Amino acid sequence: MGKVYTVAEADAAIVAESLEKTYYKGSFPRRTPAVKALRGLSFKVRRGEVYGLLGPNGAGKTTTVKIISTLMVPDSGEAYVSGYNVVSEFAEVRKRIGVMLSVERGFFWKLTGRENLRYFGLLYGLSGRELEERIDSSLETVGLRELGGGSKFFEDMSLGMRARLGLARVLLRDPEIMILDEPTLGLDPHSARHIRRLLRLEARNGKTVLVTTHNMFEAEILCDRVGIIRSGRVIAEGTPGELKGLVSRSTPITVLLKTFDEPSLQELVARLSRDDVRVDYERVEPGKWRLSLLVPRGLEDEVLAEVYVKARALSLKVLETRVREVTLEDVFIALTGGDTGKVG
């Protein structure tokens, strides 16, 4: 039987409540907990919206997707899709969802795009003329028809074409809810943009889309609402605008530095970090580094002066400094840390 909704949940397509999941290593009787992937994760996805689960690697995004897709059972907590429990009513859930888990795999290598779709279409209950029409329209929608993807073996397809075929399989069933795990991972910008445009279009046509990503830019332009996950919990949720508001009292500053001496750079980061100043760094190219600082409003000049003085003291050359508008990436950096959820 479907779940009895509360008024607040009436427009919810997906509800996850206090989900917990621990992965174990070793085999019986010497099984020991290895990773606590989810620690009371909760979120709701409204009908017709694109909801993004944003988090660093190991935050619990894929585990969440697998539980919502009925491919994994949580240790505790509950999840509902269209009011059906993902554990006890998994058959009902499966009728309503289209799932894409991996861009690279998931099809028969020696079958063409069309043959693969025909196989999965039959398994998902389609047949005859309806199946052929759905194959045609989904190939058309994802742009594989013009690329000849229907007659190409899966093994000969580029990563971009494989992602499109994965999406075509999702669309084949015309599901109420689309669940996609990192659908643009590893794709070239053109293919990634195409996939994002398609997902927005599907949401406009009334479908609900749950998508995971660790791409901030993608979350910002694709999602109506975003849930930021860290260590198996949703630590912030809202529209990209609302989330940016969480750090509105801060100003992001980018500093480009030239050095081949990484320990000195780490020393600079340590010297600049304070309770009210968050500092992160990444390598842009060999010998070139980008510092990202989040500083309280009004202290920009003071912090910048500090950067110049401390960098010179460590013989690091400042190439460029830039004061920016807040992006979702700044929110993400401000809210997440390096915790990957390892137990003990």
Q: Which of 6, 123, 263, 282 binds other proteins (CB under 8 A)?
A: 123
Q: 49 vs 89, which CB is nearer to other proteins?
A: 89
CB 319 within 8 A of CB 258: yes
User: By CB under 8 A, is residue 120 in contact with other proteins?
Assistant: yes
The stretch near other proteins (CB under 8 A) out of 119-127, 137-145, 201-209, 262-270 is: 119-127
Q: Which of 19, 35, 79, 99 binds other proteins (CB under 8 A)?
A: 99
Q: Which of 118, 225, 230, 278 binds other proteins (CB under 8 A)?
A: 118
Q: Which of 47, 95, 193, 200 binds other proteins (CB under 8 A)?
A: 95
User: 196 is written with which tokens?
Assistant: 């994002």
User: By CB under 8 A, is residue 164 in contact with other proteins?
Assistant: no
The stretch near other proteins (CB under 8 A) out of 41-49, 92-100, 274-282, 328-336 is: 92-100
In whole angstroms, how close is the CB of 306 to other proteins at the nearest point? 47
In whole angstroms, how close is the CB of 70 to other proteins at the nearest point? 7
Residue 181: name the closest of 339, 72, 21, 332 by CA.
72
Q: Is 30 exposed, middle or buried (0-12, 13-18, 19+ CB in 10 A)?
A: exposed
Q: Write out 282-334 in H/E/C secondary structure.
A: EEEECCEEEEEEEEECCCHHHHHHHHHHHHHHCCCEEEEEEECCCCHHHHHHH
Count other Cβ atoms within 10 Å, centred on residue 317.
11
User: 187 is written with which tokens?
Assistant: 């794709």
Which positions ≥6 away from 61 have C-beta within 8 Å?
A: 53, 55, 181, 182, 212, 214, 229
Q: 88 vs 273, which CB is nearer to other proteins?
A: 88
Q: 104 vs 262, which CB is nearer to other proteins?
A: 104
User: By CB under 8 A, is residue 104 in contact with other proteins?
Assistant: yes
User: By CB under 8 A, is residue 125 in contact with other proteins?
Assistant: yes
In whole angstroms, how close is the CB of 37 to other proteins at the nearest point? 9
User: By CB under 8 A, is residue 77 in contact with other proteins?
Assistant: no
Q: 36 vs 278, which CB is nearer to other proteins?
A: 36
Site map (CB under 8 A) of other proteins, residues 134-153, x = contact? -------------------x
Which positions ≥6 away from 198 have C-beta within 8 Å?
A: 141, 142, 167
Q: 1 vs 91, which CB is nearer to other proteins?
A: 91
User: By CB under 8 A, is residue 108 in contact with other proteins?
Assistant: yes
Which string of DSSP letters, residue by residue, matches 264-284? HHHHHHHHH-BTTBEEEEEEE
Site map (CB under 8 A) of other proteins, residues 1-30, x = contact? ----------------------x---x---
Residue 229: name the closest of 61, 342, 68 by CA.
61
Q: Which amino acid is at 111?
A: L
Q: 68 vs 255, which CB is nearer to other proteins?
A: 68
User: 203 is written with which tokens?
Assistant: 């949401």
Separation of alpha carbons 117 and 334, rounded Å: 43
Separation of alpha carbons 161 and 142, rounded Å: 9
CB 327 within 8 A of CB 250: no
Question: From residue 187, how far is each of 132, 164, 183, 197 by CA, in Å?
Answer: 28, 11, 9, 14
User: By CB under 8 A, is residue 88 in contact with other proteins?
Assistant: no
Q: Which of 124, 147, 277, 310 binds other proteins (CB under 8 A)?
A: 124
User: By CB under 8 A, is residue 66 in contact with other proteins?
Assistant: yes
Tokens 């975003």 -> residue: 226
Q: Which of 51, 80, 84, 107 binds other proteins (CB under 8 A)?
A: 107
Q: Which residues bind other proteins (CB under 8 A)?
A: 23, 27, 63, 66, 69-73, 91, 94-95, 97, 99, 101-102, 104-112, 115, 118-120, 122-127, 153, 169
